[in-house]
Amino acid sequence: MKREAITVRNLSYSYPDGTKALEDVNLEVYEGERIALVGPNGAGKTTFMLHLNGTLRGTEGQVEIFGKSVDTMRREEIVKEVGLVFQDPDDQLFMPTLFDDIAFGPINQGLKEYEVRERVEKAISSLGLSGYEDRSPHHLSFGEKKKASLAAVIAMEPRILVLDEPTANLDPRSRTELIGIINELNEREGITMVIATHDVNAIPELADRIYALNRTIIETGTPHEIFFDGKLLKQNNLDVPDVFKLFEVLRCFGFNCEKLPLSLDEAISGLTTVIETEGGHIHLHIHEHTHEGVKEWRNKYGHHVPK
Amino acid sequence: MKREAITVRNLSYSYPDGTKALEDVNLEVYEGERIALVGPNGAGKTTFMLHLNGTLRGTEGQVEIFGKSVDTMRREEIVKEVGLVFQDPDDQLFMPTLFDDIAFGPINQGLKEYEVRERVEKAISSLGLSGYEDRSPHHLSFGEKKKASLAAVIAMEPRILVLDEPTANLDPRSRTELIGIINELNEREGITMVIATHDVNAIPELADRIYALNRTIIETGTPHEIFFDGKLLKQNNLDVPDVFKLFEVLRCFGFNCEKLPLSLDEAISGLTTVIETEGGHIHLHIHEHTHEGVKEWRNKYGHHVPK
Amino acid sequence: MVEYPEIDRYSSLDSPMHRFDPRAKLIAFTILIFSIVLLPNLKLALIGLLASILFLIASKLPLRFALQHIKWVFLFVVPFIIIMPFTVNGTEIFSFYGLTMTYEGLEYGILVAVRAISAVILVLPMIATTRFDITIKALAKLKMPNMLVQMFMFTYRYIFVFVVEFQRTWRAMAARGFKLKTNVYALKTIGKALGTLFVRSYERGERVYQALRSRGYTGSPKTLVVFKMHVLDYILAGTIIGFAVSLHIIPLYLHS
Amino acid sequence: MVHISDGILSLPVLAAGWAIAIALIAVALWWSKKKGNIDEEIPKLSVMTAAFFVASLIHIPVGPTSAHFILNGLVGVTLGILALPAIFIGVVLQAVLFQHGGITTIGINTVNMGIPALIAFCIFKWGNKRGMMLTRKDLSAGIFGALAGGVAVFLAVVFTAFSLILSGKEAFSAVAILLTVAHIPIIVIEAIVTGSIVVFLLRVKPELIGGLGGDEK
Ligand SMILES: Nc1ncnc2c1ncn2[C@@H]1O[C@H](COP(=O)(O)OP(=O)(O)OP(=O)(O)O)[C@@H](O)[C@H]1O
Ligand SMILES: Nc1ncnc2c1ncn2[C@@H]1O[C@H](COP(=O)(O)OP(=O)(O)OP(=O)(O)O)[C@@H](O)[C@H]1O
Ligand SMILES: [Mg+2]
Ligand SMILES: [Mg+2]
């Protein structure tokens, strides 16, 4: 079994005004894993993430990073392990130029000047931001700001990356690009990822495992396990990828496969396998339960559009 | 033919710092239509929308609302016709209570007190916000704020609603709810809609027609027409709904249908029709062009995930 | 409504002033500004004005840009030019319904104006020829207390964010029929809009602090910036400071 | 327009301005360092300062001309003693980014706006303690907020007028009077706006009122 990168035990947190944002949260993330954190607006995702690097400290419980409690770690140590990318890039790009911003973390880590420059260069080029070093953040587009804020964090070379809604407000190409970059960092550098997102269609591409959070952890499992649990989804304002929904529909038409695909790539390989095992073809037809099945399916997702 | 609600002719706009945000934009929206405005980050969608109610005035060209040029209309007149819902609800909610906020527009319209109260009540109940009147907007969840900002605008009873990224940052349930509300306003009150969005999966449910904007209007057409135009999409960082992509894949496996579906509902009716016309069943199989087709499809969307 | 600060819009041009080391530039021009605003008579002040204009020309900043930035000082100076001639006692030029215009007064009014305008002109070659963040870094190198340097850095950055934020709020108000007038309703409404701005800025401040902490901030961020004084910088700075000092010293000898 | 430009004031006034400003800022920073975690306050204070700065760029019509907000009263009410460094930063940025005010007058301008801000803070605190006897908390906050806002601008104008008069020439007194008269409508406007901002903040974010760094939280 792999090492635990993050271990959270009985974590509770209330904001000073009394809002109970987290209650008895338990969670573990293994090294190199990609975790998606899902939950409705106000579920406490952002609050939770702020605990992972000790920015907020739970009123109860504890957080361990690679086996060490964040309470006993020094700031510099935590920051070296856990990089946090905020949802709004303007919160995070606080320096007047992109270079200064990306250099900010490495300088605070006490690196030598040439090392800092190396780090900055590497981060900038791995996000395709070369040539932007002297630009100020307010002259960047939203997508560029998002990338810049990610660059600023990876320049610190953390072993764990925590991302708050990385794809929100991005245009489709920037979104695809960012997903690609995140996965590359995971594959190439082995960085452990924790990603809060509402973008269910991105989850199959972004996560090995899901934690459903709604003040406390409701459930955990692979995307397949979570997306199969209709009741859980409904109770927590969650949704499933459209591809998955569509295959549920296909199933009503007699399509037969064990594991419904969640992403397009899974769909292709799923289709191929089923065709191969079923002797060269798939048969879709309207059988006696089709209409009933579709009706049930509609109910499940509360589809409002009239037939 | 229906009346033109919005007519834009040769509109150009540069920001004071010289950024050319819009160039020779031409567009028309008919009464009761639902238009989606798509385009990459920085394409000028927000800038364009600010012209529709005269907040910004083009350096060239003109905007007409129901046949009247906004240049000649008084502020109160424009505001009565065009309601603008901003992307970030915090930009728009600036009163100490929700009631005050929703009443702000009607008061500025010079309505009598009882009329204002009526308007507020109606807006609040049509968005399901009853009981929140005295809450401060700053204490609402993100989804509630989004609804509140919509309520504040519909309380002015505009005939045209302009929405900037209505579904961004919403959890799936709030997103579905908001889509439902928007469509209901369109159906029940006949409000014309212009919606800027990056959420391609929502477009089939939200729009009758798409305008692709990238500084100037690139193309217009029904969702089917636009999503079929691979080159256009690629050049403008656009994407298509996952359902559509999946049916393109199914086509490689021999699925045969004239009009690829864009949404789940279309998929169901599409499947049903095809099955019925093809004599009770659909046959999926791997034929000589399947793998080639899938490869081409991958190329089209620049899918990075290795097979 | 509210505009971006654009003082360093032309900082990427190339001119002797642009090449001047930012630290030396700040010190030399600050001394020169102090020198000119304290000049006792019009003749010397005119020399100062001439020098200021020469520095402005040497900076190659576009004239329109320069005038835009200089124009504000006229608003402040005009009352002096108008009022001084009638309130300072001295040789009468003419009299008008009991108001007496004096030569001394006129000269004094003009002196004030010339000094004020020279100083504003000098701010341009000093500030507008360097990217503003580099100016702040130069101040840091000049041992300005770290807390103030940080405040400059962050404040400057977030001005841009809030200009955009307030513009949007302002547009949202206009989109709901609000019109700015000077009556109590409008002022109270502006109060609420500004209140919103402040609440959001406070919340953003908290998030910024969290973001800073997440990147290892412990209260004293440093930046990497290399300044290097060349011979030319020493000569230029020496000349400017020498000129500034001699404006005050040479007249002493001339008078004696 | 309470930023005095370069070239008008005499050396003693300029020097005194710088001396007092530096001393006050040093005390303010030292004081808040002693009382709490200044590292935490600096980013927040800077972000707030940026917001006040942006607010002060807004111009509103006053008769035939327009005026900028000053809002030093509000800065005092919300930031307490840290209003001084905030106002200093604001004054410097006004001078170098927009050429409002001057370089040599940074010291005196900071003093002229900063001390009234502190007085406004005291008025507000004192007033609100008494005002608690009023039945409605926000009414008292509104009244004393308006008072603080008005007084702060009034005092800033008076201080500025004095700086002019102290600069020698009694001839400046005419300008000083003109300045004061011209500001009467602005004092009224600032009072109303500050009052309504304070009421708003009290409802929505009460921790913002009464000095950042939060004494008596
Ligand atoms: N500074 C704060 N003070 C008081 N309450 C807060 C604060 N920040 C967040 N909350 C509250 O804590 C709860 C959790 O908020 P959080 O931002 O963590 O949710 P989230 O899951 O990130 O939501 P979203 O999906 O909208 O980003 C919410 O009820 C929110 O209103
Ligand atoms: N106030 C401003 N001053 C100068 N340039 C601006 C301003 N606002 C926007 N721009 C620029 O104008 C262009 C269009 O911006 P706009 O916000 O309209 O794009 P958008 O299509 O809404 O993008 P997004 O999808 O990210 O919301 C961009 O290049 C942007 O940087
Ligand atoms: Mg969040
Ligand atoms: Mg936009």
Q: Of ligand 2's atoms, which has the minimum distance to the CA of residue B49?
A: 18
Q: How far is the CA of A44 from the centre of ligand 1 (A)?
A: 6
Domain ranges of chain C: 16-131+228-255, 145-214
Q: Read off the pLDDT of residues C237-248 as tens digits, 9 standing for 90 and up.
A: 999 999 999 999
Subunits with 3+ Cβ pairs within 8 Å of A are B, C
Q: A270 versus C155: which is more confidently predicted?
A: C155
Q: Using the atom order of ligand 2, give the atom closest to the CA of residue B44.
A: 18
- Of D217 and A303, the structure prediction assigns the larger pLDDT to A303
Could you give the residue ranges of the DSSP H alpha helices within chain C? 16-19, 22-37, 42-58, 63-87, 103-123, 132-141, 146-175, 184-214, 231-255
Determine how many CB atoms are found less than 10 A away from the CB of residue A113.
12
Mean pLDDT of A101-106: 91
Predicted confidence (pLDDT) per residue in B4-51, tens digit? 999 999 999 998 878 899 999 999 999 999 999 998 888 999 999 999
Q: Ligand 1 test: best mutation among A13, A19, A52, most atoms within 8 Å of CB?
A: A19
Number of domains in chain D: 1
Chain C, window 75-134: residues with a beta carbon less than 8 angstroms from a chain A beta carbon: 131-133
Instruction: Find the CB nearest C192 among D78, D179, D200.
Output: D200
Could you tell me what percent of chain B has a pLDDT over 90? 42
**Share of residues in chain D with pLDDT > 70 (%):** 89
CATH assignment at residue D108: 1.10.1760.20
Pocket of ligand 1 (CB under 6 A): A 15, 17, 19, 21, 39, 41-47; B 142
Counting as low any pLDDT under 50, the low residues of chain C are: none
Q: Does B48 touch chain C (CB under 8 A)?
A: no
> Closest ligand to A13 CA?
1
Mean pLDDT of B227-256: 78
CB B247, CB B260: distance < 8 Å: yes
Contact A116 C224 (CB under 8 A): yes
Domain of residue D167: give its range.
11-215
Q: Count other Cβ atoms within 10 Å, centred on residue A23.
A: 18
Per-residue pLDDT tens for C200-222? 899 899 899 888 888 888 777 77
Strand-pair category, B60-65 with A209-214: unpaired
The two tokens of residue A153 are 């964090």
pLDDT beneath 50, residues of chain D? 212-217
Q: How confident is the model at residue A22, as a pLDDT?
A: 95
Alpha-carbon distance B93 to nearest alpha carbon in chain A (angstroms): 18
Residue B269: pLDDT over 80: no
Q: Which residue has the higher pLDDT, A298 or B205?
A: B205
Residue whose C-alpha is closest to residue A257's, from B284, B292, B266: B284
SS3 track for chain B: CCCEEEEEEEEEEECCCCCEEEEEEEEEEECCCEEEEECCCCCCHHHHHHHHCCCCCCCEEEEEECCEECCCCCHHHHHHHEEEECCCHHHCCCCCCHHHHHHHHHHHCCCCHHHHHHHHHHHHHHCCCCCCCCCCHHHCCHHHHHHHHHHHHHCCCCCEEEEECCCCCCCHHHHHHHHHHHHHHHHHHCCEEEEECCCHHHHHHHCCEEEEEECEEEEEECHHHHHHCHHHHHHCCCCCCHHHHHHHHHHHCCCCCCCCCCCHHHHHHHHHHHHHHCCCEEEEECCCCHHHHHHHHHHHHCCCCCC
Among A242, A256, A269, the residue to mutate for chain B (most B Cβ within 10 A): A242
- Report if residue D5 sits inside a domain: no
pTM: 0.86
Tokens matching residue A56: 């907020």
- Residue A267 has its nearest CB partner, among B198, B246, B304, at B246
Residues of C within 8 A of A105 (CB-CB) are: 215-216
Atom of ligand 2 lying closest to residue A143 CA = 26
Interface list for B 8-47 with D (CB within 8 A): none
pLDDT band at A192 (very low <50, low <70, confident <90, very high): very high
Mean pLDDT of B104-113: 90
Q: How far is the centre of ligand 4, averaged over its atoms, from the C-alpha of B238 (Å)?
A: 15
Q: Is residue D210 part of a domain?
A: yes
- Please tell me the predicted confidence (pLDDT) of residue C125: 96
Chain A neighbors of B201, CB-CB under 8 A? 201, 242
Residue type, B186: N
| pLDDT one-digit tens code per residue, A137-169 | 888 888 889 999 999 999 999 999 999 999 888
B42 to chain C, any CB pair closer than 8 A? The answer is no
pLDDT at D217: 32
- Beta carbons of B172 and A238 less than 8 Å apart: yes
CA distance A81 to D62: 56
Chain B: residue whose CA lies nearest to C9? B17
D189 touches chain C (CB under 8 A): yes
pLDDT value for A121: 94
Model pLDDT for residues A59-72, shown as the tens digit of each residue: 899 999 999 999 99
Query: Is residue B117 over pLDDT 50?
Result: yes
B182-192: string of b/e by CB count within 10 Å (b at 16+)? bbebbeeeebb
Say if the Cβ atoms of B283 and A282 lie within 8 Å: yes
